[in-house]
């Protein structure tokens, strides 16, 4: 499963002022990721504002990324939810060219650990594609425990966990006990370096949208054991990383992307653009990183 090792990027969805999808900007973003050294692309995760796109738009976004990428990088598609049967239906419509699925833990329903096990086992039985689990309690309302992740890791096509619990002890327990070929991926940009130092295999990043070269070099250096070089990139990126999440995601990273000239910062409701004060800080940090 080396396809998903290293620096993945959770692609944003660019919008025009009328809130239609800005497909030229999306193509530009894909090309910047390829040029910047990103290892793989994640389409229609939460960073892509997937809850606000209808099924037709999601299909168009995925097809555009696949076409522009043209096989250069592995592509992971976000297909998760709190209705197991609906997720299974979504799996059936995933086109050729997709290399894996990122599937968030069911949200709002707050299932038990037995419910998480049954949900993911049902999904795994309905596809041959590799599945990356995604634990993000801050969004879903409940936590997939380490022992649950480890039981799911024994299923052949469940190949990785994107861990965004922020619980270092929990994540390290997964790393300590996991099967050899099961990957642990950081779901928090700011703690990617310490997690790799603890044995994690990479990250699915938000910040890499705007700084693919710096972020991928940080991850690659850390995975290669060059922590002196990795720390330099980590601390250079840390201020802007904090700012990007200060008023929610992807509002912050879209300001950096606007400053770079890659897209406009529009988001669909209920998300709104970040405050002017935060915008000024993100712009200043972006200029520092790109001068």
Backbone angles phi, psi at 8, to 5 degrees: -90, 155
From the candidates 58, 77, 134, 178, which is the catalytic residue?
Answer: 134
Bridge partner residues of 9 (DSSP): 41, 205
SS3 call for 44: coil
Q: How far is CA 134 from its chain centroid?
A: 9
Residue 247, C-beta contacts closer than 8 angstroms, at least 6 positions apart? 274, 275, 278
Q: Is 279 a catalytic residue?
A: no
Q: Classify residue 9 by its DSSP letter.
A: E
Largest CA distance in the chain: 51
From the candidates 77, 116, 162, 279, which is the catalytic residue?
Answer: 162
SS3 call for 134: strand
Whose CA is closest to 36, among 215, 252, 238, 260? 215
Q: Is 96 a catalytic residue?
A: no
**Active site residues per annotation:** 134, 162
């Amino acid at each position: 499963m080396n396809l998903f090792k290293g620096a993945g990027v959770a692609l944003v969805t660019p919008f025009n002022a009328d809130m239609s999808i800005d497909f030229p900007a999306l193509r530009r973003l894909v090309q910047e990721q390829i040029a910047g050294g990103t290892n793989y692309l994640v389409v229609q995760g939460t960073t892509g504002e997937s809850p606000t796109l209808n099924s037709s738009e999601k299909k168009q976004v995925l097809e555009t990324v696949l076409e522009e990428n043209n096989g250069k990088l592995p592509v992971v598609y976000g297909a998760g939810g709190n209705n197991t049967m609906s997720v299974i239906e979504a799996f059936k419509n995933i086109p050729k060219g997709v290399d894996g699925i990122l599937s968030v833990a069911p949200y709002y329903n707050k299932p038990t650990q037995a419910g998480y096990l049954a949900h993911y086992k049902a999904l795994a039985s309905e596809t041959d594609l590799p599945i990356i689990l995604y634990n993000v309690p801050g969004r879903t309302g409940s936590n997939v425990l380490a022992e649950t992740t480890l039981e799911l890791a024994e299923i052949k096509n469940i190949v990785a966990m994107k861990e965004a619990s922020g619980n270092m002890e929990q994540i390290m327990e997964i790393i300590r006990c996991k099967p050899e070929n099961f990957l642990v991926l950081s779901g928090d940009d700011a703690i990617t370096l310490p997690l790799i130092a603890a044995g994690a295999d990479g990250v699915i990043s938000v910040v890499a949208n705007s700084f693919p070269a710096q972020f991928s070099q940080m991850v690659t250096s850390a995975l290669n054991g060059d922590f002196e070089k990795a720390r330099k990139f980590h601390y250079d990126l840390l201020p802007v990383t904090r700012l990007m999440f200060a008023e929610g995601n992807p509002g912050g990273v879209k300001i950096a992307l606007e400053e770079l000239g890659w897209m406009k910062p529009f988001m669909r409701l209920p998300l709104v653009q970040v405050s002017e004060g935060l915008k000024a800080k993100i712009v200043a940090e972006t200029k520092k990183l790109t001068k």
